[in-house]
Structures are given as structure tokens and as C-alpha cells.
Amino acid sequence: MTVISVVPGDGVGAEVVPEALRVLDDLGLGLEYDVLGHVNAGTYLDSGTALTDDDVERIRRSDAALFGAIGDPRVTTPDYARGVLLRLRFELDLYVNHRPVSLPDERLSPLKDVKRGAIDCVVVRENSEGLYAGIGGALRQSTSHEVALDVEVNTHSGVSRILDYAFGIARSEVCMVDKSNAVPNGGRLWQRCWADARRRYPEVAVRHLYVDAAAMRLVSDPAGFDVIVTNNSYGDILSDLAAELGGGIGIAASVNLNPATGFGLYEPVHGSAPDLAGRGVANPVAAVLCAALMIDNLGHAAEAEAVRAAVARTVAAGRCTPDLGGSLGTEEAGAAIRAELR
């Protein structure tokens, strides 16, 4: 039995995750769900803890986790999100953030003259180090002499393994993005690991871009990328840019993955969207595509491709939520995808 941990979370997460589960149920894969419905901002506000040690172990024991969103306007501290998402990333060593981008319909891209399917790439973001490692501090806080430090962490093992992952999934090319001309210490480490990786994978074409040039090239020629690999903060930014070019974060899926264990936390990119929560108009596509990515990695490639094709057909036909140009609500959009699957 394949067990999936399900964490709907906050805001629209609790609305779109059920649609993804309904799609999975229609596929008849025999999945079992362990729903952690209490992991949310309400629990955090009541107890000061949203994710307990027991919750982490329940998730660890499952085969994969399907996540909704974390974030609530009532919570003003970053400790909540860090205590859920970053805790799972670090404790389960989910060192890969894998974000595929594929344009399902040309009308969705802000770029002119981009054809459907022309944008088809993956941004691979190092997920356990960099500026998000939480190392740093502040001196003389809340004064005019305040000093704040956030330390970027790069390790040889961490950089090497994210590069290995990127080369392992490449179809044609890996583009490594850094800022080694301005950030010398981490830059030298990335460049040395990059040179080693290129020797390990001589059959894969390679390209190196500084992050500012990569951002410009994504806009001018997004179809020219296959796999982009970069550090935590640059990957955060570039993957959002790529997602917008590919139709917006409402259809952007991602997985936080440990390739060694095979465990993945599958998470829509759009967040909790409190302005949309409770209105019944949240777009379920990203959650559904997360479910497709999940079953693909669990060995159900044909079913995953069928889900992606059904999503593309419903979006192209305008059977979708208002953010994609349709008029359907969340549940209606989910039902349209399931009808297309049948």
C-alpha cells in the first residue's frame, strides 16, 4: 500500500488539495491518505507549534507528501512557515527543489509570439543551504546602529549533489547559474564543483550564466532552456520568473525531493493566497499537477501524463478558473479535469 501524507494547510491550500485527491481517486491507484488537517495557522496560534515531532514522523513514514500552502495574515512572524516547510526540508533532507515549467496555452504567457509547449524546462534549486540556512544574527537591534547578517552557506557535498541531480534529469543541456564574478568564495566553490560535474557527465551539453544574465535570457529566449540549476535564493527568484512566463504561479507545481530516499513533498507554488481563500475561485491546476508529478515519481508515468494532458486540454478550452481566463469555480475546474480524464 502506498501511503500519502496530506497537509492541506492554510488558505486556498485547503480548497485545492481536495481537488487533487479527487483526481488521484479517479485514477484508481489504490493510494492511502494520512491527512494532517491540524497543521495550520490556527493550531500555531493556539499552541505556538504547528508541526510536532509526531507529525514529522508520520510524514517521514509515508511514501510521499502532498502539501497545500502555509501562510495566514494573522501570523506576523516567519517562525510559523519556517517551523513547517523549512523544518521538513531540513529534517527530511529534501535538498532538491524541482520546479517544472511548461506553457499549456500561448494566451497565458505575458510574452508575445510564444507558442504552446515552447517553454518546457525545469529549474533545479538547491534547497538546504544558501541564504535560507538561517545562519546569521543582528547587533544593536531596533537602533540607528543596527547591524544585520545573513550568512550564505555552500558546501562541497551540497553543491555537488544538486549538480548531479540536474545532470541526471537533463534531456539536452544543463545551465548552471551563479554570481561568481561578484560573490567570490561561494562562487569559487560552485565553479569547482561545476567543473567536476562536467567531467562526470561529458555527454550532456552545458552552459554557464550569471544570474542577472540568466534572468534576461529567460525573458528573451525562454524556449532555449532545458535544466537550470542554481543556489537557494537565485533558484527561488528564477523559478518564479519562469513560472510566470509559463502561465503564472497558479499552474506551477514543485517538489521538495530527496533523490536518495525517493521521498518528496509536493507543493503548489502559489501559496495560501488569503485574498482568494473562501471564495471558491482558487485555481486547482497547480495542486493537480503536483499530484501528477508525485505519481510520476512513484512509478505511474502513464497516469501522470494523462493528468497533464487533461489539464492542458481543459485550460486550452477555457474550462478553468478566472485567473486563466475561464469562469469556473475551484470544484467545477477540478470536475472538468476529471471529466477530461474519463
The contacts of residue 187 (CB under 8 Å, 6+ apart) are: 178, 179, 180, 181
CA distances from 147 to 136, 139, 330 (A): 11, 5, 46
Active site residues: 132, 179, 212, 236, 240
Helix (H, G, I), strand (E, B) or coil at 120: strand
Helix (H, G, I), strand (E, B) or coil at 210: strand
Buried b vs exposed e over 255-283: b needs ≥16 C-beta within 10 Å?
Answer: bbbbbeeebbbbbbbbbbbbebbeeebbb
One-letter amino acid of 68:
G
Helix (H, G, I), strand (E, B) or coil at 105: coil
What nine digits make up the cell of 270? Answer: 502559489
Strands 64-69, 3-9: parallel, antiparallel or unpaired by DSSP?
parallel
Residues 96, 257: contact at Cβ < 8 Å?
yes
Identify the bridge partners of residue 7 per DSSP, sorted by sequence position: 67
